Amino acid sequence: MGKFKLSFLGALGFFIPTLVLLTVLNLSNLPHIGSIADGLLFSLYFSAIYFGGMYGGSWALQIKQPHNSKSVISIILGALMGDIAWAFISILWILPVMRDTYVMVLNAIFINSLLIFFAGLATNLINVGRVYTPATK
């Protein structure tokens, strides 16, 4: 399985808990069809950021030769990383320094995107030991 397919499947796994979480949060604030659309669009956005972290990380690590891997494992790993990333982001935004600072609130999407990008990189580091052989053989 190539780097692109593995990254895409990981992003698909990340998309599932992100969609559920963001849609539920949006619907709890404003029960309207626009809340569902907002949850879907932001889920696609954050999944694309996660995909960029995974695919860019595999490119930066110069990973060339993937072993055979099960697609389901990549999807489950992406979903687990989604759960971990959103739990970390939720804990981070509970902290008073993040919640009460006006500049931090204005940059919430940027901060969340940065943390999700690093979650994609972290997934790649997990995959190096599980799936890949380094290019320098």
Q: What is the value of pTM for the model shown?
A: 0.80
Residue 58 lies in a domain: yes
Is 21 within 8 Å of 38 (Cβ atoms)?
A: no
Residue 23 lies in a domain: yes
Residue 53 lies in a domain: yes
Residue 136 lies in a domain: no
Residue 137 lies in a domain: no
Domain assignment of residue 32, given as a range: 3-131
Q: How many domains does the chain fold into?
A: 1
Is 116 within 8 Å of 57 (Cβ atoms)?
A: no
Q: What tens-digit pLDDT sequence spans the chain (137 residues)?
A: 567 777 888 889 999 999 998 888 888 888 888 888 988 999 999 999 999 888 887 766 665 545 556 678 888 888 999 999 999 988 888 887 777 766 666 788 888 899 999 998 888 777 665 555 555 55
Sign (positive or negative) of CA dihedral 3, 63, 43, 83: positive
DSSP string, 70-132: -HHHHHHHHHHHHHHHHHHHHHHHHSHHHHS-HHHHHTHHHHHHHHHHHHHHHHHHHHHHHTE
Residue 18 lies in a domain: yes
